[in-house]
Amino acid sequence: MAIGSAKKERIDSLAESSADDSGVSLAASAWKRLRRSPVFLFGSFIIVAFVIVAIIAPWIAPHDPSARDLADQVIKARNEIPKPQPGYPLGGDLQGRDFLSRLLVGAQQTLLVGVFATVIGLIGGLALGTLAGAFGGWVDSLVMRIVDVMLSIPQLLLAFGIGALFAKPNLFTVILAVSIVQIPVFARLLRGSMLAQRESDHVLAATSLGVKHGSIVFRHMLPNSLGPVIVQSTLVLATSIIDAAALSFLGLGNPDDRIPEWGQMLGGAQTVIDTHPQLAFWPAGCIIAIALGFTLVGESLRDALDPKNRR
């Protein structure tokens, strides 16, 4: 059915690239093209920069992000928050904590949310995909039917729905909600990749040589699926971070803000955005930048791996 089929087509065509049989190593020619692609270089630069910041944040952050040093400057009645001052270049937030430190340390949590959500989605998708592929028959049909229906529901709505299932949301529920939405994507991707490869020459050769099925799957087919999986993972990383922010916006996010996270900061700033726009703009800018970085890398990777682009 064509419901959601454009999205499915994109996943499927990505999956097919893993079955490319031509002589020159796909990775080698892809890398050659990537090295010259300004999109890829720019995106990678952004990602690397953010990862570095995330790693060294606790050391470079001037203050403890959960310490309410400037609490006395917060005047609720007049809706005032601490202004930029010596030692606190970006001022304070609604609770009197150093805003810059929260931004810097927030990189950690935000990236963690993205990575965890992606990994869980990937593992879940892998499990489902191999389940369907391994058993075949009605198991395969049933699993893929469910996957297709899930794919046809708009991702964000699905995330909202899952987020709403929890009476007391916390970091874990956010990651869960965002990652479950990605499971059908990876499931379809991996199954498509396996299917495409089953017909390919090297698998047929291995089978006819008597190599065991399990060995074929793990040593031949999965490594070839790596390309599409990496592409999808980078794109999923970007969307998970944004989806998590949307969840916070609706009040389905993690209410505990001692450990800062950009999406949470953005969601929390919505009530005061007209009076203190910077509380929203800075986290938003960071989210946009990192999402852009991952998207640029993912899209350039997708182009590089596209067999049609090969010479």
The single residue among 273, 278, 307, 310 that binds other proteins, judged by CB under 8 A, is 273
Q: Which of 143, 145, 180 is nearest to 159 (CA)?
A: 180
Residue 85, beta-bridge partner list: 88
Q: Measure CA of the first residue to CA of the last residue in the chain; give whole Å.
A: 34
Q: How far apart are CA 29 and CA 20, in angstroms?
A: 12
Can you give 48-108 as a three-state secondary structure string? HHHHHHHHHHHHHCCCCCCCCCCHHHCECCCCECCCCECCECCCECCCCCEHHHHHHHHHH
For residue 239, the minimal CB distance to other proteins (Å) is: 9
For residue 308, the minimal CB distance to other proteins (Å) is: 9
Which segment (71-79, 131-139, 184-192, 285-293) binds other proteins by CB under 8 A?
285-293
The single residue among 246, 286, 301, 305 that binds other proteins, judged by CB under 8 A, is 246
Q: How far apart are CA 55 and CA 169, in angstroms?
A: 27
Please provide the size of the chain in residues. Answer: 311
Which segment (92-100, 161-169, 185-193, 209-217) binds other proteins by CB under 8 A?
161-169
Contact 258, 64 (CB under 8 A): no
- Sign for the CA dihedral angle at 64, 249, 95, 91 comes to positive
For residue 248, the minimal CB distance to other proteins (Å) is: 10
Q: Which of 128, 121, 252 is nearest to 176 (CA)?
A: 121
For residue 250, the minimal CB distance to other proteins (Å) is: 5
Q: By three-state DSSP, how is residue 236 classified? A: helix
The single residue among 291, 301, 304, 305 that binds other proteins, judged by CB under 8 A, is 291
CB-nearer residue toward other proteins: 160 or 217: 160
139 binds other proteins (CB under 8 A): no
CB-nearer residue toward other proteins: 62 or 154: 154
For residue 38, the minimal CB distance to other proteins (Å) is: 8
The single residue among 161, 195, 230, 259 that binds other proteins, judged by CB under 8 A, is 161
For residue 15, the minimal CB distance to other proteins (Å) is: 17
Residues that bind other proteins (CB under 8 A): 1-7, 9, 36, 39, 145-146, 149, 152-157, 160-161, 163-167, 238, 242, 245-246, 249-252, 266, 270, 273-274, 277, 280, 284, 287-288, 291-292, 295-296, 299, 311
